[in-house]
Amino acid sequence: MENNLTTRKIYIDTRYKRDLYGSNTNFEINLPQTVECPENCVMYVDEIVLPNTITTVQTGVNDKLYFGLFYNTTVKYRNITLAEQNYTIQTLTSQIKSLMNSQINTAEAEFNVTYNVDKLIISINVLDKRSTQPDIMRWQIFSDDNLKAGYYNFVPISNPTTCNELIQNNVVSTTAFWHDPVEIVSYNVDLHTTRNLYLLGDIGEYRTITNFSWSGGSVLKKIMMNVPYNDTLFSNVIMPYDCNHIGNQSFNRIRFRLVNSKGLEPNLKNNWSFSLIFAIQ
């Protein structure tokens, strides 16, 4: 390819993706002409305009909680699904308590869930309500690592999509931790579930690495989610080295994905836009 640029900039809006009714976080765009990128060409992702419509809990992203309750020589494996919405520590506590108790026989056992708004802590313990107690009742909430290891009902769950990050239940252990009724377990609550998003694409050379558990080699841009819910994020190129090498490539269609730090696509309800800028370095 000759060392000149026929295209300097591409404006992209998810309103005009190939599948007009498809995802705003996993989409393809068609271009009206083939873009030729000569040697030493770099690309910048610029002029990001993204409405923050990502709720505290998102369906299929972080809405599950898996727990077990042992008594009468049997482990009752249960799971709950939180509603997709924004939560305060009060509403999260209420929802967890209600849903956990809805999955067990409350004539025999009942979960007590309380909160401390000053310390941002949720505390959980179980009440043994059996008239006779032939064994010690025990319970636990399974961490993502223990779910993947198969400690929940002896079946590994490779992609748990839990809300463990909300309550900082990040226990890494080769054995599952069981708590008895006299033990009150406190969880530090973090309602800021999405701090960064990552724009991935199928163009470029990706001279980047990450320490993510998923392959982050195709990251075009990190987007800091520094605006509150229902506000619009604006992000521009700040540093000249924040570019992607794209020399000797040509394309007329591009696929993009927008993911969180776990590699999961958030439930982004609104359209958003950004630009690709090409330059010779």
The CATH number assigned to the domain holding 29 equals 2.60.120.1100
In a domain, 141, yes or no: yes
In a domain, 243, yes or no: yes
pLDDT digits 0-9 by tens, 61-75: 999 999 999 999 999
Residue 212, pLDDT score = 79
pLDDT at 80 over 80: yes
The verdict on 173 and 249 lying in the same domain is no
The verdict on 76 and 157 lying in the same domain is yes
Q: In this structure, are residues 167 and 142 in contact, taking their beta carbons and an 8 Å threshold?
A: no
The arithmetic mean of pLDDT across residues 209-229, rounded, is 83
Residue 214, pLDDT score = 72
Judged by average pLDDT, the poorest of 104-108, 199-203, 212-216, 264-268 is: 212-216
Confidence of residue 177 (pLDDT cuts 50, 70, 90): confident
The verdict on 165 and 246 lying in the same domain is no
Higher-scoring residue by pLDDT: 59, 176: 59
Residue 211, pLDDT score = 81
Residue 227, domain extent: 9-54+194-280
The verdict on 42 and 97 lying in the same domain is no
Confidence of residue 190 (pLDDT cuts 50, 70, 90): very high
Residue 25, pLDDT score = 95
In a domain, 1, yes or no: no
In a domain, 239, yes or no: yes
In a domain, 3, yes or no: no
Confidence of residue 4 (pLDDT cuts 50, 70, 90): confident
The verdict on 255 and 227 lying in the same domain is yes
b/e 170-194 (16+ beta carbons within 10 angstroms → b)? ebeeeebeebebeeebbbebeeebb
pLDDT digits 0-9 by tens, 234-264: 999 888 888 999 999 999 999 999 999 888 9
Domain count, the chain: 2
Amino acid identity for residue 7 in this structure: T
pLDDT digits 0-9 by tens, 106-154: 999 999 999 999 999 999 999 999 999 999 999 999 999 999 999 999 9
3-state SS, one letter per residue, for the chain: CCCCCCCCEEEEEHHHCCCCCCCCCEEEEEEEEEEEECCCEEEEEEEEEEECCCCCECCCCCCEEEEEEEECCEEEEEEEECCCECCCHHHHHHHHHHHHHHCCCCCCEEEEEEEECCCCEEEEEEEECCCCCCCCCEEEECCHHHHHCCCCCCCCCCCCCECCCCCCCCCCCCCCCCECCCCCEEEECCCCCCCEEEEEECCCCCCCCCCCCCCCCCEEEEEECCCCCCCEEEECCCCCCCCEECCCEEEEEEEEEEECCCCCCCCCCCCCEEEEEEEEC
- The mean pLDDT of the chain is 92
Chosen domain end from 170, 188, 206: 188
pLDDT at 88 over 60: yes
Residue 272, pLDDT score = 98
Q: In this structure, are residues 121 and 188 in contact, taking their beta carbons and an 8 Å threshold?
A: yes
Chosen domain end from 134, 159, 188: 188
The verdict on 74 and 165 lying in the same domain is yes
Q: In this structure, are residues 225 and 199 in contact, taking their beta carbons and an 8 Å threshold?
A: no
The verdict on 116 and 91 lying in the same domain is yes
Chosen domain end from 144, 163, 188: 188
Q: In this structure, are residues 167 and 189 in contact, taking their beta carbons and an 8 Å threshold?
A: yes
Residue 217, pLDDT score = 59
Residue 61, pLDDT score = 95
pLDDT at 213 over 80: no
